[in-house]
């Protein structure tokens, strides 16, 4: 028996990648509507009514509208947008965060995919708070670089026509849309200082968490806390301090659903960085959506990824 899946926003950046991941699967039947009717409420409602799960790959406002359209239908939703990430009715779709969260995803009617930067930041901070190596009251900073596909059609066009700079920082007023979910899903009491940036590559991302070291917080304890937390996770790859080398490359995991987590620095100098590498369109978007869908369908979690 095949499951009926509707990708609302199928011709957008995230939707296309999800379609590619699902196209060859025999256990999935894609419900599709003609591209020219993609914003037609009647056509979308008809598709929602046929689907077991709909994956929303839409701007936030359109994702909220989709929820309205499905009010009286029993379709389960996975939302890739940032509309519902701190909404109490929605399960946050980050199965590696805890086994409870994975179980909640499996049973959920409504799952919200984490943001791309938030995936990296939460992946580093939450386990370190849990291990007592970061205090919830600590003042932390998060630095990041993303591929330009994260910026949507306008930014993609700037890079494709050559008018965009090789690298730029943004989010300068400390109001980035991922900050609320980072706080909500780590427990940080004070807003972290977040410095995102974009480089001249389409996909890929590094999120860095700079940390000062002390007797308890050293390279080994940081690495071990993270490695313990992610033990057995098929989409997490740990990089020990002595394996990091001299460069962290944002494009290293492109085309995959993997999340690389590592720690590097100098105990002599008392300074370290915990880092996460991911594909902003993979584990940061379409890969995470497919992984959550697999968990909701009780399919192999790695199927299609």
Ligand X SMILES: NC(=O)C1=CN([C@@H]2O[C@H](COP(=O)(O)OP(=O)(O)OC[C@H]3O[C@@H](n4cnc5c(N)ncnc54)[C@H](OP(=O)(O)O)[C@@H]3O)[C@@H](O)[C@H]2O)C=CC1
Q: What 8-state DSSP symbol labels residue 201?
A: S
Does 285 bind ligand X (CB under 6 A)? Our answer is: yes
Cβ contact 195:171 at 8 Å: yes
Cβ contact 170:120 at 8 Å: no
Closest distance to ligand X2W from the beta carbon of 27 (Å): 27
x/- track of binding to ligand X2W for residues 100-139 (CB under 6 A): ---------------xx-----------------------
Residues in the chain: 305
- DSSP string spanning 10-73? TTSHHHHHHHHHHTT-TTEEEE---GGGTT-HHHHHHHHHH-SEEEE-S-HHHHHHHHHHTTTS
Helix axes 116-130, 219-229, angle to 10 degrees: 110
Does 196 bind ligand X2W (CB under 6 A)? Our answer is: yes
The answer to whether residue 264 is catalytic is: no
Does 282 bind ligand X2W (CB under 6 A)? Our answer is: no
Does 70 bind ligand X2W (CB under 6 A)? Our answer is: no
The SS3 assignment for 92 reads: strand
Alpha carbons 118 and 86: distance in angstroms, whole number:
12
Closest distance to ligand X from the beta carbon of 1 (Å): 28
Which residue among 38, 176, 178, 283 contacts ligand X (CB under 6 A)?
A: 38
Catalytic residue among 57, 116, 264, 271: 116
**Footprint of ligand X on this chain (CB under 6 A)?**
8-9, 11-15, 38-39, 57-60, 62, 65, 80-82, 116, 149-150, 152-153, 280-281, 284-285
Enzyme catalytic residues? 116
**Footprint of ligand X2W on this chain (CB under 6 A)?**
81-82, 115-116, 146, 150-151, 177-178, 196, 198
């Amino acid at each position: 028996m095949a499951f009926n899946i509707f990708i609302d926003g199928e011709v957008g950046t995230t939707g296309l990648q999800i379609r590619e991941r699902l196209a060859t699967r025999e256990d999935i039947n894609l419900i599709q509507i003609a591209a020219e009717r993609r914003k037609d409420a009647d056509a979308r409602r008809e598709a929602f009514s046929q689907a077991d799960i709909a994956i929303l790959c839409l701007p936030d406002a359109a994702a909220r509208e989709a929820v309205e359209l499905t009010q009286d239908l029993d379709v389960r939703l996975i939302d890739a947008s940032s509309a519902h990430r701190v909404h109490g009715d929605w399960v946050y779709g980050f199965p590696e965060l805890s086994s409870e969260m994975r179980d909640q995803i499996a049973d959920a009617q409504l799952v919200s995919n984490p943001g791309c930067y938030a995936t990296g930041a939460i992946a580093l901070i939450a386990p370190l708070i849990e291990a007592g190596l970061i205090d919830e009251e600590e003042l932390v900073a998060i630095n990041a670089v993303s591929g330009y596909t994260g910026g949507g059609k306008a930014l993609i066009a700037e890079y494709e026509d050559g008018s965009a700079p090789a690298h730029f920082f943004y989010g300068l007023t400390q109001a980035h849309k991922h900050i609320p979910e980072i706080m909500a899903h780590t427990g940080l009491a004070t807003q972290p200082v977040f410095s995102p940036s974009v480089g001249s590559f389409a996909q890929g991302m590094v999120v860095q968490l700079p940390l000062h070291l002390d007797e308890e917080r050293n390279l080994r304890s940081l690495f071990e806390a993270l490695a313990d937390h992610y033990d057995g996770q098929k989409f997490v790859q740990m990089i020990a301090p002595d394996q990091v080398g001299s460069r962290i490359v944002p494009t290293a995991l492109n085309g995959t659903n993997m999340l690389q987590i590592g720690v590097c620095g100098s105990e002599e100098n008392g300074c370290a960085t915990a880092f996460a590498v991911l594909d902003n369109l993979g584990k940061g978007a379409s890969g995470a959506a497919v992984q959550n869908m697999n968990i909701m369908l009780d399919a192999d979690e790695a199927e299609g990824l």
